[in-house]
Structure 1
Amino acid sequence: MRDSQDALLNAVSAAVLAVTRHLSPREVLQVIVRSARELLDARYAALGVPDDDGSFAEFVADGITPEQWAAIGPTPRQHGLLGAMLREGTPVRLGDVRRDPRFDGWPKAHPVLKDFLGVPIHDGDQVLGIIFLANKACGPFTHDDQDVLTLFAAHAAIALTNARLYERGRELTVIEERQRMARELHDAVTQKLFSLRLTAQAARALLATDPERAARELDTVQRMAGEALAELREVIVELRPAELDSHGLVETLRKNVGLLDRLHSATITFEGHFDGDLPAEHEVAVLRVAQEAQHNALRHSGCSSLWVRLRRDRADLVLEVVDDGSGFDGEPTRGLGLESMRDRAAGVGGRLDVISRPGAGTTVRMVVPT
């Protein structure tokens, strides 16, 4: 008995540690779901986060494939058992969820669920989310299982609250940093451009009466323009997209792909997972190359499908943007931003390859050391 209790406590401790290692709220939600499912040996797990209208603002799942998840359809709203739990905020344990009077079916692609356990994640009186488990390997779920999941949910609440506070702190930091950048643009670049304009006006006025002095003034214009350009580049390099600070690289790519998929007739999908840490400049480079490659494919290739993939390959991070468009033979035409993408890859110690042939689509692959 003592050994089984120690094993259980060790399992809960390991699950809690797995959650608290992450600071992004989205990552915390995903790790909570995966840890809860593994902790109680369930086949399926999900976590719903409420919005201000009594529905689910977010809904993450574990135990199903991305294809199954896409086929299931929209996030559950205010109906059925899950909606009832959202309103009531109390645990629910069922031997067969289909026999509960609140059950009202599920989409055609939804897996068949039987035994069910749902536990709210509380922060005081506020419900931060609800963990749902189904189809325990040696089910049904027991009262002890409910106690274990309740204990885990209490620790998960702390991790989720900390992640949200951390994200809010990062958002404030981003605002402060952008205000600093605006001041630098005004104090350095703007002032230099103003001086450059005055010098150019003086050179113009001297052209007729003193060409030699006008030439010297034009040399000064050239030098000042170069200095202004260099300072502007330094400021631009320091500007980090705000969404990277808020959501991280993987989720930013996912959101970007989702937006483009809604705006374009082509089907655009994202496949990616990366659990390591990248320097800020590496994340910016990967994001910008992904955006440029997607833009090129959608504008020039005539593709019907576009895939954005992010994966780890040993010590490298690999980004691939693949389309099924017209492709090309040899080097791509000018104006596709290829040199810019290669410069971005080289700037972080990586490389960029473009693979294409007529009628067989194009793959843009960026490899970055981690």
Structure 2
Amino acid sequence: MDQGARDPRDQSASVPATPRLRLDALLEDLQEQVQRVRDTQNRVHTLLDAVLSIGSNLDLDVVLHRIVESAVKLVDCRYGALGVLSDEGGIKQFITVGVDEETIARIGHYPRGEGILGLLIREPHPLRLTVLNEHPDSVGFPPGHPPMTTFLGTPVQVRDRIFGNLYLTEKNGGQQFDAEDEAVLRTLGAAAGVAIDNARLYDDARRRERWLTASSELTRTLLSGADPHEALHSFTTTVRDLSGADLVTLAVPVSDTGKLVVEAADGTDAREVRGLALPDSTSLAAKVFSSGETIVSDSLSQDPRSESGSAAVLDLGPAFLIPLGTRERVRGVLQVANRQGGPAFPDATVKMITGFADHAALALEIAEHRRDAEELLVLNDRERIARDLHDLAIQRLFAGGLSLQSVLNRVGDRPEVAERVQRVVDDLDDTIKVIRSTIYALSERARPDTAGLRARLVAEVSQAAETLGFTPALRMSGLLDTGVPEDHREQLLAVLREALSNAARHAHATAVEVTAEATDTTLRLRVTDNGRGIDPAVTRRSGLANIRTRAENLGGTITLTPHQPTGTALEWTVPLHTDAP
């Protein structure tokens, strides 16, 4: 065999390796394409699951939180947030994922819509940033804020309005957000808009149902002749339930004094503000009462427009105050508030409570007219009874007495008969006097009381401000105008004058608080000051002796104790009898 000839089986050994390497590269590219398709398929499935998740619940708060959780999962990042916009263009609610409660507390107030967040509010378009702090609109982070570099944001639109913006930062693995992340987030934002719209419609329907039920119940209570005082307490409880607020108060005017008193309160620390008298110029409630306009505050206790009232007693945050009644006749001021750091009230809640308050004011006015009509009927009956007693009963009794007196002259020779006739005449005369006093009492009851105890308390406290140099804080609770007899009223006012005078002349106090309370069995007056306290060297205390005497004359007591941290606390307590006139 020719040795130069080659074995065909050896030809494969000499074929170059290039085709095989090219095939390997093609296979690797194919595997990468398949993996990308699988990743895209998984992301699409995850997106569909996210759409189903956010659309499967109709509670708006749950929906908003699920939107942020789904966005963080879809684009594989560490932090996510949804900023809900207010009507003024700022951020009124901020829902976060990835930031713990301790960090949130350390940061403080949620963003108001500045920097990059404000840019998305002004220009509602998707935005991707490689380095967040390098953008010219960036304003940096507050102390305690976790570091963030990469950024992806997109608006969430509900129908034709921008509801808020989705913000995502810190993509995992140190990678950058890409166009696919942006497309996925935009798709999620569109689905979120539909879910939010459905949840809001459901909330509106449920809120409207609760509003109608509460309105019907309030109207039925008022028109059934229930005590208006109890109806007002029920009203504040219903408002708190409808709004989900921490505290709801209702301030009403005291006669013609121009001052408001918190008549009803429900919620956290309601006892601290119930019965509190509000100044006529430095409280937001007084401004709402005088203007008839609604006032909304982001932080009531820190609002420069309010210097006193419940915001000075408690640390209150987001709140709104609305007039109860019409612009021409405001019957009171309703304040709905959350504690400091609590969520702001949605516009829908403000509108709902405003509508409910208007309905309540109308029901109160109808009930008041009904009570006036019933009272007028009673007064007419009293007038008719008094007239009949005077024109019929008294005249006939008087005529009968005259007839018996004429008989006396004819029985003068019979002493026993004459004595009996004279006794009957005297009885008739006494009966006429009793009937006349009854007629006078009926006429007196028909006259309205022009100055109740509450108005007189407000007047006394206002008058004391001239001597003290400041207006004492005043709290009033219970049926002070109707449940306290006149003699008790006069004694209580005298005790108050003496206590305020002592605080001004001897205690040199810079703050005084007056509390007047009437229960079914007790009338209590408490006056506290932050002065220098009781001087043990002074033994002559005629003012305190007078106060003690006034209490003992009514079967009551007086206690005088140190007030913490400085000052004196005087408590004057007397019993109230249920059968008192």
Q: TM-score range by the shorter chain?
A: 0.5 to 0.7
1:180 corresponds to 2:384: yes
Is the Cα contact below 8 Å between 1:91 and 1:120 reproduced in 2?
A: yes
1:259 corresponds to 2:489: yes
CA 1:13–1:272 in 2, change beyond 3 Å: closer, same or farther? Answer: farther
Deviates more, 1:234-243 or 1:203-212: 234-243
Which residue of structure 1 lines up, in the alignment, with residue 555 of structure 2?
Answer: 301
Q: CA RMSD in A?
A: 4.6
Structure 1 residue runs of 4+, over 6 Å off?
Answer: 51-54, 225-240
Larger Rg: 2
CA 1:57–1:115 in 2, change beyond 3 Å: closer, same or farther? Answer: closer
1:9 corresponds to 2:203: no
Which residue of structure 1 lines up, in the alignment, with residue 314 of structure 2?
Answer: 111
Question: Residue 519 of structure 2 is aligned with which of 253, 262, 271?
Answer: 271
CA 1:32–1:240 in 2, change beyond 3 Å: closer, same or farther? Answer: farther
Question: Residue 154 of structure 1 is aligned with which of 353, 358, 361?
Answer: 358
CA distance in 2, matches of 1:36, 1:151: 11
For residue 166 of structure 1, report the CA deviation from its aligned partner. 1.8
Is the Cα contact below 8 Å between 2:298 and 2:317 reproduced in 1?
A: yes
Query: Deviation string for 1:94-119 (max 9, x for gaps)?
Result: 22113433122458982222111112
CA distance in 2, matches of 1:7, 1:59: 30
1:30 corresponds to 2:265: no
Which residue of structure 2 lines up, in the alignment, with residue 280 of structure 1?
Answer: none
For residue 163 of structure 1, report the CA deviation from its aligned partner. 2.1
Question: Residue 166 of structure 1 is aligned with which of 364, 370, 373?
Answer: 370
1:76 corresponds to 2:279: yes
**Count of aligned positions:** 288
Question: Residue 303 of structure 2 is aligned with which of 92, 100, 112?
Answer: 100
TM-score (norm 1): 0.60
Is the Cα contact below 8 Å between 1:270 and 1:308 reproduced in 2?
A: no
Which residue of structure 1 lines up, in the alignment, with residue 293 of structure 2?
Answer: 90
Which residue of structure 1 lines up, in the alignment, with residue 8 of structure 2?
Answer: none
For residue 172 of structure 1, report the CA deviation from its aligned partner. 1.8
Question: Please, which runs of 5 or more residues in structure 2 have no aligned partner?
Answer: 1-198, 453-477, 497-514, 522-549, 559-571
Which residue of structure 2 lines up, in the alignment, with residue 123 of structure 1?
Answer: 326
CA distance in 1, matches of 2:444, 2:233: 25
SS for the counterpart of 2:316 is coil
SS for the counterpart of 1:103 is coil
CA distance in 2, matches of 1:261, 1:75: 25
Is the Cα contact below 8 Å between 2:551 and 2:574 reproduced in 1?
A: no
The one-letter code of the counterpart of 1:120 is: P
CA distance in 1, matches of 2:492, 2:324: 33
CA 1:301–1:122 in 2, change beyond 3 Å: closer, same or farther? Answer: closer
Is the Cα contact below 8 Å between 2:479 and 2:518 reproduced in 1?
A: no
Higher relative contact order (CA 8 A, sep 6+): 1
Which residue of structure 1 lines up, in the alignment, with residue 217 of structure 2?
Answer: 18
CA distance in 2, matches of 1:15, 1:260: 41
TM-score (norm 2): 0.40
CA distance in 2, matches of 1:166, 1:254: 22
For residue 207 of structure 1, report the CA deviation from its aligned partner. 5.2
Is the Cα contact below 8 Å between 1:203 and 1:215 reproduced in 2?
A: no
For residue 176 of structure 1, report the CA deviation from its aligned partner. 0.9
SS for the counterpart of 1:168 is helix
For residue 178 of structure 1, report the CA deviation from its aligned partner. 2.1
Is the Cα contact below 8 Å between 2:253 and 2:331 reproduced in 1?
A: yes
Is the Cα contact below 8 Å between 1:261 and 1:268 reproduced in 2?
A: no
Is the Cα contact below 8 Å between 2:262 and 2:273 reproduced in 1?
A: no
Which residue of structure 1 lines up, in the alignment, with residue 27 of structure 2?
Answer: none
CA 1:129–1:27 in 2, change beyond 3 Å: closer, same or farther? Answer: same
